Amino acid sequence: MQVQPYNLMAHAFILFLLFSCITSMNIHACKHSERSSLLSFASAVSAPPSNWTSLDCCHWKGIACNQDGWVTHLLLPSKGLKGGLSPSSLGNLTHLTHLNLSHNSLLGSLETKLFLSLNRLEILDLSYNLLSGELPFSLPSSNIRTVDLSSNQFFGAIPSSFFQQASNLTSFSVSNNTFTGYVPSSICLHSSPFLRLLDFSSNQFNGNLAPGLGKCSELQVFRAGHNNLSGLLPEDIYNATKLEEISLPLNSLHGEISNKIVNLTNLAILDLYINQLSGKLPLNLGKLSKLKFVTLDFNNLEGALPPSLMNCTNLVELRLGSNNLEGDISMLDFSRLNQLAKLDLRVNNFTGTFPVSLYSCRSLKAIRLTGNNLVGQIQAQILSLKSLSFLSLGFNQFTNLTGAMKILMSCKSLHALMLSGSFKGEEMPADDDMVDFDGFQNLRVLCLIESRLTGQLPVWLSELHNLEILLLNGNEITGPIPSWLGTLPRLFYINLSENRFSGEFPKQLCRLPRLVYEPNITSQVDNTSYEYELPFYFGPVVRNPNYYLSSKISSYPATIDLSNNNIVGDIPIEVSQLQLLHGLVLHANNLSGIIPDQISNLKNLEVLNLSMNHLSGIIPSSLASLTFLKEFNVSYNNLQGPIPTSTQLQSFNASAFEGNPKLCGAPLPNKCDRPNKCIDEDNKKNNKGMGNGLHQLPWFYISSIVLGFIVGFWGVCGSLIINKTWRYAYFRFIYNVQDRLYVMITVRINMIKRKP
Ligand SMILES: *[C@@H]1O[C@H](CO)[C@@H](O)[C@H](O)[C@H]1NC(C)=O
Ligand SMILES: *[C@@H]1O[C@H](CO)[C@@H](O)[C@H](O)[C@H]1NC(C)=O
Ligand SMILES: *[C@@H]1O[C@H](CO)[C@@H](O)[C@H](O)[C@H]1NC(C)=O
Ligand SMILES: *[C@@H]1O[C@H](CO)[C@@H](O)[C@H](O)[C@H]1NC(C)=O
Ligand SMILES: *[C@@H]1O[C@H](CO)[C@@H](O)[C@H](O)[C@H]1NC(C)=O
Ligand SMILES: *[C@@H]1O[C@H](CO)[C@@H](O)[C@H](O)[C@H]1NC(C)=O
Ligand SMILES: *[C@@H]1O[C@H](CO)[C@@H](O)[C@H](O)[C@H]1NC(C)=O
Ligand SMILES: *[C@@H]1O[C@H](CO)[C@@H](O)[C@H](O)[C@H]1NC(C)=O
Ligand SMILES: *[C@@H]1O[C@H](CO)[C@@H](O)[C@H](O)[C@H]1NC(C)=O
Ligand SMILES: *[C@@H]1O[C@H](CO)[C@@H](O)[C@H](O)[C@H]1NC(C)=O
Ligand SMILES: *[C@@H]1O[C@H](CO)[C@@H](O)[C@H](O)[C@H]1NC(C)=O
Ligand SMILES: *[C@@H]1O[C@H](CO)[C@@H](O)[C@H](O)[C@H]1NC(C)=O
């Protein structure tokens, strides 16, 4: 019998229809209950994807289903979702294997009902949300491989039963929450033999690290930094031989780094800064040939650097600052470390000269050897370090500053140069051949403090068009403060205090472009982006990582500090142009005349110290409009009349006003019992003016009201530094730049805290 073509085609067609119907049902049709669960989830968040409307939820954005129409994937990271995780919705999606809702603004907690019903879950990523509460007693599924709950607001201890089902777990992160209790380091003893990543950092875990990690035979990354861990580094961590990263900074771990660490042959990152580790560095550390980042700053390590370290040819960063290490570093052969970009050996007991072998580490960008006992001179070979950007060699016994500067000025990439506290008693480099100056073209920070340098400010400084920070305090520099200083386009932080400068306050300084408010020139300089290779230290509060990690200086408070010199004449009215100034420190000079009313234009001022001068007249009542003022001192001048009444000025101690016999009123003990009628009226007027708004302050008022002023006192900065420093005896590097800056920052922070 012959099959008719027509029939054949018809059959084929029907078959095709049937088949495609079946497949489409299998692949596309989402179960009704799943759809309503998703819609219930969507109704609880503010911005569900726009195409979550059609019948078939398996084709919605972020959704995938299995053959049977069960939703298996819900992937909506960074979708701006705001709202609650509701157990009645997500918890019904019981076939979910992949849940990724990271980087949203989800609220609520991981309710046990919701969580445990997701018992097929393999990947769970809820990082970067606003979730809180404690963890449920257990992970939901033995299939779970990845759990990322980092950067939320979870708290409480991690229940010991949490990992009972975690036999397939490979990656677990709870960093950046507020978990407490013990780090569950026994996690691999009974479960989780496949763990590769464990991240407990930035929480409030405390206590010892219990043994157990040694059983994590696959562990590659272990992080628990920035907690409150104490005790020893557990010995069995050295049994986890696949470890590539150990990061436990910012804790209170003590004890030695065991020689057994050489068994961790894959180790690339050893990050233990700010702990209390002691003893010597393992002699065979150099056998760890994959080491890249070694950060052990702020511990109590002692002894010499193991020569084997110079075999770690992959080293990129070696930071061993603030320990008690010693030995002649010029004997070490750094020349094989041709990846080395950052070397920080600050504040140790190293001796010898600048290691010549360092000149062959061509990748070097940052060298800090500050605060050791090094001698000798800087050699011209340093110019072979073409990428060198950050050089800090202060507080050693180097000599020949002129030679050093002449060499370094050709260092094209140099951004920050700190040579303080060496070169004692030498002259400011000002050779004739430095006049046609074309060097230091990228220099942003120059710090040459506490060196008793003599001579005048050299003219070549006026060519440093990128200079932002100039610190020359604690020298014996003479002559006037040159007017060209006011032409440096990026300069915003000047400290010339404790020198022998004479002459008047240069009016030109009041035109510093970075300090003058120019509404139309909003971003003449890219003052936010530059990040230095190493953090600057702001002083002894190094346990506060906000200070420790700051390698950006553009946000430092703009300051002019000319205190402890011999500046004469008036405070020029032009200072009122420096509207972006945060600190004006002029104490212990020979300034006379009045306190210009116009100082009240400096609306950003936080520190104003005019003490120990010969200022006369009254305190302008307009100063009360300086609402950011945190430090104020006009003591030891010849000021007179009542202290203007304002919550601002009365919040300072009497010591800020003392030493002005004719000054009266709170906070001074002497009352203004025979008020000068004239002054009183003028003050009233001024106070009225203030009520109208801070912006039209009475600088146009009868300027003769403005009389006087004040003299000196101890430096605000100095005393703060010394008080705090003694609490950290080991931190002997007190007279550096960063201390000064730290004070300014602290001042600002305290000020912010104080404001209602
Ligand atoms: C979730 O399931 C429960 C019972 O299994 C049911 O009562 C509830 O309505 C479901 N929720 C949604 C949103 O479907
Ligand atoms: C929804 O959007 C996603 C991605 O934008 C797209 O792949 C999918 O086809 C859309 N679904 C529907 C039903 O329009
Ligand atoms: C979740 O999604 C984000 C963004 O796509 C991705 O970076 C992240 O790796 C995902 N999480 C997991 C555990 O795969
Ligand atoms: C680990 O996961 C696989 C599937 O991914 C599963 O077959 C196995 O049972 C799980 N192991 C345990 C111990 O549950
Ligand atoms: C820590 O979490 C907060 C939100 O809780 C987030 O803003 C911040 O960026 C996170 N920090 C890091 C280093 O991830
Ligand atoms: C850190 O732990 C110590 C005890 O080891 C405890 O005294 C201290 O209060 C803890 N600090 C914080 C911030 O939890
Ligand atoms: C480390 O492993 C060795 C050999 O595998 C074993 O003898 C030792 O007990 C382990 N150490 C610890 C602290 O578990
Ligand atoms: C370190 O490795 C050596 C052999 O390489 C082995 O004998 C020793 O047991 C290992 N130590 C630990 C703590 O695993
Ligand atoms: C450095 O490694 C070489 C071989 O790679 C070895 O001969 C030498 O002893 C090692 N140096 C030190 C100090 O360990
Ligand atoms: C480091 O040097 C100082 C002074 O030179 C000395 O008092 C101290 O004992 C030394 N420290 C060590 C660990 O050698
Ligand atoms: C200082 O250094 C320069 C440049 O290296 C050199 O020419 C000069 O001789 C040095 N002076 C002294 C006194 O060593
Ligand atoms: C600033 O800009 C405004 C409009 O953008 C303009 O009217 C004004 O003249 C400018 N001022 C200066 C000083 O350039």
The DSSP code sequence of 60-77 is STTEEE-TTS-EEEEE-T
Say which DSSP state 289 is in: T
pLDDT tens column, 21-45: 444 444 558 889 999 999 989 988 8
Q: How far is CA 640 from CA 166, 620, 671, in A?
A: 77, 11, 12
How far apart CA 449 and CA 564 sit, in angstroms, is 14
Atom of ligand 10 minimally distant from the CA of 348? 1
| Residue 597's pLDDT band (cuts 50, 70, 90) | very high
User: Measured from the CB, is residue 180 less than 6 Å from ligand 4?
Assistant: no
- Is residue 82 within 8 A of residue 46, CB to CB? The reply is yes
CA of 239 to the centre of ligand 7 (A): 6
**In this predicted model, which residue has the larger pLDDT, 73 or 742?**
73
User: Measured from the CB, is residue 40 less than 6 Å from ligand 1?
Assistant: yes
How far apart CA 634 and CA 712 sit, in angstroms, is 7
Q: Give the pLDDT confidence score for residue 226 in this predicted structure.
A: 95
pLDDT tens column, 127-183: 999 999 999 999 988 899 999 999 999 999 999 899 988 889 999 999 999 999 999
Q: Residue of the nearest CA to atom 14 in ligand 4?
A: 142
User: Measured from the CB, is residue 151 less than 6 Å from ligand 5?
Assistant: yes
* In the predicted structure, residue 689 carries a pLDDT above the cut 80: no
pLDDT tens column, 268-277: 999 999 999 9
Per the structure block, which two tokens stand in for 202?
């930035």
Q: Give the pLDDT confidence score for residue 243 in this predicted structure.
A: 97
> Taking residues 48-68, what's their average pLDDT?
89
pLDDT tens column, 541-582: 333 434 444 556 666 788 999 999 999 999 999 999 999 999
Residue ranges of domains in the chain: 27-121, 491-687, 694-754
Whether 27-121 and 491-687 share one fold: the answer is yes
User: What is the fold of 27-121?
Assistant: 3.80.10
- Is residue 639 within 8 A of residue 709, CB to CB? The reply is yes
CA of 158 to the centre of ligand 6 (A): 18
Q: Residue of the nearest CA to atom 5 in ligand 3?
A: 77
Q: Residue of the nearest CA to atom 3 in ligand 2?
A: 61
Pocket residues: Cβ below 6 A from ligand 9: 286, 307-308, 311
User: Measured from the CB, is residue 403 less than 6 Å from ligand 11?
Assistant: yes
> Taking residues 583-594, what's their average pLDDT?
95
How far apart CA 709 and CA 610 sit, in angstroms, is 8
pLDDT tens column, 466-520: 999 999 999 999 999 999 999 999 899 999 999 999 999 999 999 998 888 776 5
E strands along 529-673, which residues? 559-561, 568-569, 583-585, 590-591, 607-609, 616-617, 631-633, 638-642, 662-664
Atom of ligand 7 minimally distant from the CA of 234? 13
CB proximity list for 674: less than 8 A, separation 6 or greater: none
Mapping DSSP onto H, E and C, the string for 132-174 reads: EECCCCCCCCCCCCEEECCCCEEEECCCHHHHCCCCCCCEEEC
Closest ligand (CA of 521): 12
CA of 30 to the centre of ligand 2 (A): 15
User: Measured from the CB, is residue 236 less than 6 Å from ligand 7?
Assistant: yes
Q: Give the pLDDT confidence score for residue 94 in this predicted structure.
A: 92
Atom of ligand 3 minimally distant from the CA of 100? 1
* Maximal C-alpha separation, the chain: 134
User: Measured from the CB, is residue 145 less than 6 Å from ligand 3?
Assistant: no
CB proximity list for 404: less than 8 A, separation 6 or greater: 377, 378, 398, 419, 423
Atom of ligand 1 minimally distant from the CA of 89? 13
Q: Give the pLDDT confidence score for residue 116 in this predicted structure.
A: 87
| Residue 736's pLDDT band (cuts 50, 70, 90) | very low
Helix (H, G, I), strand (E, B) or coil at 116: helix
pLDDT tens column, 288-338: 999 999 999 999 999 999 999 999 999 999 999 889 999 999 999 999 999
Atom of ligand 11 minimally distant from the CA of 379? 5
CB proximity list for 726: less than 8 A, separation 6 or greater: none
Closest ligand (CA of 310): 9
| Residue 521's pLDDT band (cuts 50, 70, 90) | low
CA of 431 to the centre of ligand 11 (A): 12
Q: Which of 81, 102, 147 to mutate to test the pocket of ligand 3 (most atoms within 8 A of CB)?
A: 102
How far apart CA 259 and CA 546 sit, in angstroms, is 33
Helix (H, G, I), strand (E, B) or coil at 568: strand
Q: Which amino acid is at 430?
A: A
CA dihedral 662, 666, 667, 668 (to 10 degrees): 30
CA of 92 to the centre of ligand 1 (A): 6
Closest ligand (CA of 186): 7
How far apart CA 577 and CA 41 sit, in angstroms, is 57
Beta bridge partners, 269, equal 245, 293
* In the predicted structure, residue 378 carries a pLDDT above the cut 60: yes
Q: Residue of the nearest CA to atom 1 in ligand 9?
A: 311
Other Cβ atoms less than 10 A from the Cβ of 425: the count is: 10
Q: Which DSSP helix (H) or strand (E) runs through 350?
A: strand 349-353
> Taking residues 426-441, what's their average pLDDT?
80
Q: Give the pLDDT confidence score for residue 11 in this predicted structure.
A: 56
User: Which has the minimum average pLDDT: 342-351, 468-477, 747-756?
Assistant: 747-756
Closest ligand (CA of 311): 9
Supply the pTM of this predicted model: 0.82
Q: Residue of the nearest CA to atom 5 in ligand 2?
A: 61
How far apart CA 355 and CA 367 sit, in angstroms, is 11
* In the predicted structure, residue 746 carries a pLDDT above the cut 60: no
Closest ligand (CA of 165): 4
| Residue 688's pLDDT band (cuts 50, 70, 90) | very low
Pocket residues: Cβ below 6 A from ligand 8: 238-239, 260, 263
Which residue in 318, 412, 304 sits closest to 361, CA to CA? 318
Helix intervals (H) in 555-672: 647-650
User: Measured from the CB, is residue 88 less than 6 Å from ligand 1?
Assistant: yes
How far apart CA 465 and CA 462 sit, in angstroms, is 7
Q: Residue of the nearest CA to atom 6 in ligand 8?
A: 263
How far apart CA 608 and CA 618 sit, in angstroms, is 16
Which residue in 681, 433, 707, 443 sits closest to 570, CA to CA? 707
Other Cβ atoms less than 10 A from the Cβ of 546: the count is: 10
* In the predicted structure, residue 112 carries a pLDDT above the cut 80: yes
Other Cβ atoms less than 10 A from the Cβ of 67: the count is: 9
- Is residue 138 within 8 A of residue 165, CB to CB? The reply is yes
CA of 307 to the centre of ligand 9 (A): 9
- Cβ burial, residue 617 (10 Å; 0-12/13-18/19+): buried
Q: How far is CA 319 from CA 90, 185, 698, in A?
A: 47, 27, 54
User: Which has the minimum average pLDDT: 229-238, 509-518, 737-746?
Assistant: 737-746
Pocket residues: Cβ below 6 A from ligand 2: 51, 54, 59-61
Q: Residue of the nearest CA to atom 13 in ligand 7?
A: 236
* In the predicted structure, residue 621 carries a pLDDT above the cut 60: yes
Q: Give the pLDDT confidence score for residue 701 in this predicted structure.
A: 30
Q: Residue of the nearest CA to atom 4 in ligand 10?
A: 349
User: Which has the minimum average pLDDT: 10-24, 111-125, 392-406?
Assistant: 10-24
Query: Mean pLDDT of all residues in the chain?
Result: 82
* In the predicted structure, residue 726 carries a pLDDT above the cut 90: no
User: Measured from the CB, is residue 146 less than 6 Å from ligand 3?
Assistant: yes
Q: Residue of the nearest CA to atom 4 in ligand 5?
A: 151
- Is residue 277 within 8 A of residue 253, CB to CB? The reply is yes
Q: Give the pLDDT confidence score for residue 712 in this predicted structure.
A: 26
**In this predicted model, which residue has the larger pLDDT, 564 or 90?**
564
CATH fit for domain 491-687, picks 3.40.50.10540, 2.60.40.10, 1.10.600.10, 3.80.10.10? 3.80.10.10
How far apart CA 553 and CA 594 sit, in angstroms, is 34
CA of 142 to the centre of ligand 4 (A): 6
